[in-house]
Amino acid sequence: MGHWRGGSTGRPRVAVVGAGFAGLAAARKLARQPVDVLVLDKHNYHTFLPLLYQVASAGLEPEAIAKPVRSILRRAPNVGFRMAEVTGVDLSGRRVLTETGHIPYDYLVLAAGSATNYFGSPEIEAHSLPLKELTDATILRSHALSMLETAALVDDREQRKKLMTIVVVGGGATGVELAGSLAELKRHVLPDDYPELDIESEARVIMLEALENLLPGFPPRLQKEALRQLQRLGVEVRLSSPVESAEDGIVRLGDGTTIQAATIVWVAGVKASLLSEGLSEELARGGRVPVRRTLQLESHPEVWVAGDMAYLEEKGRPIPMVAPAAIQQGAVAGENVIRAVQGLPLREFRYSDRGSLATIGRQRAVAHVPPLQFTGLLAWVVWLVVHLFWLVGFRNRVLVLVNWAWNYILYEPGSRLITRPLRRQGREVREEAVGRGVAKP
Ligand SMILES: Cc1cc2nc3c(=O)[nH]c(=O)nc-3n(C[C@H](O)[C@H](O)[C@H](O)COP(=O)(O)OP(=O)(O)OC[C@H]3O[C@@H](n4cnc5c(N)ncnc54)[C@H](O)[C@@H]3O)c2cc1C
């Protein structure tokens, strides 16, 4: 047995925190090398986050975008896995702290990713739904569908409209993709599923963006195109509309206006995992950990940080929090651990930017693959090819790909199950609607 479980093989012990894009890329580099590796994650699965919005908008089943870490690592005899929530790192004692015991290491790769950033607003955190993990997506899907089920009970038109309104806050790629696919769900699926509701005139998808444009970081032409495509799908986009606060079923904008919406989705920001705190005297923007070009911690060179948690600049600009950057960094971190073990000089990280893509519904997208810009169907085909190849590598089964494409094109009804109990804000909105005496007998 290679990886350590209390006993030791005498080989260097490498702990990898996080089985996301960066952590798995590091583990792959460490596989079959003369080290004992333990990967830790709070979930027993890896999540393909770029398609999370598809689960949230009932386009794909959760199983289509997640895979158990143990099965991914099965073929690497020196790499083990432990499901555990990491609570901190004892840098001087060289131990990873978890709720189920402390794990000593010789080398550490930290790749715990990022978390939703509510910019210090407890009200927004309490009254909106995030989209950062697989469970967030199933909760959001169940919540939105439960609100429709409630609307089907209600006679009062205003109440029904509120129940059928989804506000997506944040016009970055995740928000744009989510709003687009919710609009398509509204157009193509919900009218048949809910014949008793007037989906077309009463259901709304509203997108709120604080800045003047959608998709920050994309070229202006693609930002405008994304806006046009979303509007064509029926999304009500409000630019320059910062959200001030939220209450149960109400969004309050900076200019004092309010929007009644039973489903408020907050995808307006991310910040590095809380594990970043204490790793460096000063954290960079978004709570990210500044690292050397070799991805090591300045104060502890036996620790590497990769992915969304790490802060490094390329050509004077921060490396973005995106999956390709995380994969590239994880691979370099893993390789550098082996080089350190072997006493070889370490590699410096260089980010290779492959461009940015965002889909808008099922047949439209915008793609920036410098110096090229694509829009519409062509961009969507680029997006599909990129993601299908990526997914194939991930799931490694053509059959799954065919199944996935089938669900994707035909809106497999299994993905529209309500599988989660309502969270507090959902229960309150439902009770308010049904308890006001406006429910149908
Ligand atoms: C909805 C959504 C859509 C996105 N779409 C795209 C896209 O289309 N293209 C793109 O390039 N990027 C996209 N991104 C960004 C991309 O997913 C991230 O940049 C990337 O996942 C970062 O990789 P990572 O390894 O740093 O973190 P992650 O992939 O997030 O992995 C972190 C891992 O650490 C685990 N973890 C976290 N905290 C702990 C803890 N305390 N203890 C134990 N385990 C822990 C998590 O469970 C997770 O498995 C998207 C992100 C989101 C949220």
Using CA atoms, how far residue 112 sits from 59, 77, 137, 412, in Å, is 27, 23, 19, 32
Question: 54 in helix, strand or coil?
Answer: helix
User: Quick one: pLDDT at residue 1?
Assistant: 40
Q: What angle do CA 363, 180, 252 make, to 5 degrees?
A: 170
Neighbours of 202 (CB within 10 A): 16
Give the integer Cα–Cα distance in Å for 239 and 110: 37
Q: What angle do CA 144, 149, 155 make, to 5 degrees?
A: 120
Q: Measure 20 CA to ligand 1 centroid, in angstroms.
A: 6
Q: Measure 113 CA to ligand 1 centroid, in angstroms.
A: 5
DSSP-assigned letter for residue 198: -
Q: Measure 274 CA to ligand 1 centroid, in angstroms.
A: 13
From 61, 133, 177, 184, the catalytic residue: 177
Token duo for residue 345:
């000089």
pLDDT tens per residue, range 87-109: 999 999 999 999 999 999 999 99
326 lines ligand 1 (CB under 6 A): yes
User: Quick one: pLDDT at residue 438?
Assistant: 55
323 lines ligand 1 (CB under 6 A): yes
Name 229's Cβ contacts closer than 8 Å, sequence gap at least 6: 180, 360, 361, 364, 366, 375, 376
- Exposed, middle or buried, 192 (CB in 10 Å: 0-12/13-18/19+)? exposed
User: Quick one: pLDDT at residue 94?
Assistant: 98
Give the integer Cα–Cα distance in Å for 89 and 108: 10
To test the ligand 1 pocket, which listed residue (40, 41, 45, 49) has its Cβ within 8 A of the most ligand atoms?
49
23 lines ligand 1 (CB under 6 A): yes
Nearest CA to ligand 1 atom 27: 113
User: Quick one: pLDDT at residue 29?
Assistant: 97
Our answer to whether residue 177 is catalytic in this structure is yes
Q: Measure 114 CA to ligand 1 centroid, in angstroms.
A: 6
275 lines ligand 1 (CB under 6 A): yes
206 phi and psi angles, rounded to 5 deg: -115, 135
Q: Which residues, in sequence order, are bridge partners of residue 88?
A: 97
Q: Which atom of ligand 1 is nearest to the CA of 267?
A: 1
Q: Measure 218 CA to ligand 1 centroid, in angstroms.
A: 21
Nearest CA to ligand 1 atom 31: 20
User: Quick one: pLDDT at residue 398?
Assistant: 62
Strand order in the sheet with 36-41: 79-83, 36-41, 13-17, 107-110, 303-305
321 lines ligand 1 (CB under 6 A): yes
DSSP-assigned letter for residue 368: E
DSSP-assigned letter for residue 159: H
The residue ranges of the chain whose pLDDT is under 70 are 1-8, 391-401, 403-404, 407-408, 412-414, 436-441
Name 71's Cβ contacts closer than 8 Å, sequence gap at least 6: none
